Amino acid sequence: MSRVCCICEKGQMTGNKVSHSNRKARRNWGANVQKVKLDVNGVEKTQYVCTRCLRTMRKNEG
C-alpha cells in the first residue's frame, strides 16, 4: 500500500537536491501522511490521511 492520502490523493513528489555548488541530483519528498482510523460506510478502517486533511477534519468536527 502506497503512502498516499485517501482524501486528497496527495503523494510522493520528485525534484532536485541542489548542492551549494549548484550540482543537481534527483530526490523524492514523501507526503506527511499519518495512519488514522476512519469510519467508511459504517466500518472502521485504518487509512493514510495527510496532516492538512486531518486538520480540516478536526476543524469541521466540532
Alpha-carbon span 10 to 30, nearest angstrom: 9
Residue 2 has pLDDT above 90, yes or no: no
Average pLDDT over residues 3-9: 94
Query: Which grid coordinates are listed for 1?
Result: 500500500
Q: What is the DSSP letter of 52?
A: H
The pTM of the full predicted model, rounded to 2 decimals, is 0.78
Cα dist from 53 to 10, 13, 15, whole Å: 10, 17, 24
pLDDT in tens, 20-50: 999 999 999 999 999 999 988 899 999 999 9
CA 40 to chain centre: 19
